[in-house]
Amino acid sequence: MVKKRIEGGVSAPDGFFSDGVSANLKSGGELDLGFIYSDTISNVGAIFTSNSFVASPLKHFQRNRISETDFILVNSKNANAMTGEKGVEDIETIFSQLPKFHNPIMSSTGVIGNFLPIEKIVSGAKRFDLSSQKSENFAKAIMTTDAYPKEIAIRVELPDGKSYSVGGVAKGAGMINPSMATMLAFITTDLEISTEKIVELLKENSKTTFNAISVDGDTSTNDSVFLLANGKKGFYDKSFEVVLHEVMKFLALEIVRDGEGAKKMVSFQIRGAKNDFEAEKIAKTLSDSLLVKTALFGEDPNWGRIAMSIGASGTEVSEEKLSISYEDVEVLKDGKNLFNSEVEKRAFEILKRESFTIFCDIGVGDGEFKSYGCDLGYEYVKINADYRT
């Protein structure tokens, strides 16, 4: 099989269209309302936040038991969360004033606790051009504190001459936490996949992608990952599983890279934990630790904070067996501090990079997990202290 990156994001697969407009939700005419449209009815499945206060768009999707659709409407700036029954009714009101779609879906991101500005959204959506394939406008319309849009498209050519495409787009930045997904992500393909299989694939792949990343350890009320398969190609190929993983991992890492104010993308590769579950717990404790994150921001190879964090994770550990490396620079080996001026200097060089891996060998079993995190600096504070105003 030949796999190549192509342009077109979520509208790259056959029969998908998307675009974004300004509906005056954000100030200054920025894009803030977008759509994904499929010209044939598409199977759809989704995985949602683990937050108990599920936002209204998620309730709307769940109550209507949507498994097929041809239209997803997405707004930024207002999360339509903590808005009670009216929040769900507002979605129905909006769709009742738009051209008729098949089980239309809404998705929202932004501030919690305010009702949707129905008029603005309806009037914006009436300006959609359903034949448009400007996926980057869609990617921009769903951004909140994101610094840049995040999209990908892959075209696969099979040995028998058949081909298919997969497109993906995400928004992230804050309220990113490993306990479930993240933010909003939409993935499209022209393969034929049942809704049941869609949900199964999303769950399986989110464990090592969206669920392995952390920006700030908070879990949003709106986290959603949608996968639409419109079946235009009339077949399914098992290679999709590899491609889907690639798309989900790409989008997840883009979210970390664009973590609010983040300058560094750091992988925490845990080995030798008691089991995979404990390895995951350690990896996520590290990517969530404020003291680890600020040390990364300060480019300080302070392995003591990494050890502290591992010790605080509530897993089986042994001081005499713990080893820590920054890339290939070993700083702690079986509990022995290897720091000297030469090692410290080499570690400093690694810390200066934009992206690197910290390896931790716990030494008590064969559990493994890899999580992805970022540093936390002044920008994070600035973004989150000012966000609502």
What is the amino acid identity at position 165?
Answer: S
Q: Which is nearer to its own copies, 125 or 215 (CB)?
A: 215
Binding mask 310-349 for its own copies (x = CB under 8 A): xxxxxxxx-xx-x---------x--xxx-x----------
**Of all helices (H) and strands (E), which one includes residue 252?**
helix 240-257
In the three-class reduction of DSSP (H, G, I as helix; E, B as strand; rest coil), residue 61 is classed as: helix
Distance of CA 153 to the CA centre of its chain: 16
* Rounded least distance, CB 103 to its own copies, Å: 24
- When asked if residue 302 is in the footprint of its own copies (CB under 8 A), the reply is yes
* Rounded least distance, CB 222 to its own copies, Å: 9
The closest alpha carbon to 155, from 325, 265, 13, belongs to 13
Helix, strand and coil in the chain, % to nearest 5: 30, 30, 40
* Rounded least distance, CB 204 to its own copies, Å: 23
* Rounded least distance, CB 337 to its own copies, Å: 5
- When asked if residue 118 is in the footprint of its own copies (CB under 8 A), the reply is no
Say whether 209 is catalytic.
no
Among 41, 98, 112, 130, binds its own copies (CB under 8 A): 112
Q: Which is nearer to its own copies, 50 or 163 (CB)?
A: 50
User: Please, are residues 54 and 221 in contact by the beta-carbon 8 Å criterion?
Assistant: yes
Among 146, 253, 305, 326, binds its own copies (CB under 8 A): 305
What is the amino acid identity at position 12?
Answer: A
Rounded to whole angstroms, what are the CA distances from 240 to 12, 166, 197, 229, 243?
15, 8, 12, 11, 5
Q: Which is nearer to its own copies, 38 or 315 (CB)?
A: 315
* Rounded least distance, CB 363 to its own copies, Å: 13
- When asked if residue 387 is in the footprint of its own copies (CB under 8 A), the reply is yes
- When asked if residue 364 is in the footprint of its own copies (CB under 8 A), the reply is no
Among 135, 165, 177, 182, binds its own copies (CB under 8 A): 177
* Rounded least distance, CB 376 to its own copies, Å: 7
Stretch that binds its own copies, among 29-37, 44-52, 136-144, 230-238 (CB under 8 A): 44-52
Q: At what angle do helices 276-288 and 290-297 cross, to 10 degrees?
A: 60
Among 129, 200, 300, 366, binds its own copies (CB under 8 A): 300
Q: Which is nearer to its own copies, 43 or 315 (CB)?
A: 315
Among 303, 326, 359, 369, binds its own copies (CB under 8 A): 303
DSSP state of 147: S
Query: 129 Cβ partners below 8 Å, 6+ apart?
Result: 19
- When asked if residue 380 is in the footprint of its own copies (CB under 8 A), the reply is yes
Among 307, 347, 351, 374, binds its own copies (CB under 8 A): 307
Q: List the interface residues with its own copies, window 206-235 (CB under 8 A).
A: 216-221
d(CA 45, CA 205): 14
To which residue do tokens 């990517």 refer? 287
**Out of 109, 145, 182, 219, which one is annotated catalytic?**
182
Burial class of 341 by CB neighbour count within 10 A (0 to 12, 13 to 18, 19+): exposed
The closest alpha carbon to 121, from 135, 134, 131, 108, belongs to 108
Stretch that binds its own copies, among 3-11, 60-68, 75-83, 351-359 (CB under 8 A): 75-83
Count the neighbouring beta carbons within 10 Å of the beta carbon of residue 366: 12
User: Please, are residues 375 and 296 in contact by the beta-carbon 8 Å criterion?
Assistant: yes
Binding mask 278-297 for its own copies (x = CB under 8 A): -----------xxx--xx-x
Rounded to whole angstroms, what are the CA distances from 1 to 160, 162, 177, 269, 306?
9, 10, 35, 30, 42
- When asked if residue 22 is in the footprint of its own copies (CB under 8 A), the reply is no
Among 298, 333, 352, 353, binds its own copies (CB under 8 A): 298
Pairing relationship of beta strands 184-189 and 224-229 according to DSSP bridges: parallel
Active-site amino acid positions: 182
List residues near its own copies by CB under 8 A.
50-53, 79, 81-84, 111-114, 174-175, 177, 179, 216-221, 289-291, 294-295, 297-298, 300, 302-305, 307-317, 319-320, 322, 332, 335-337, 339, 376-378, 380-382, 384-389
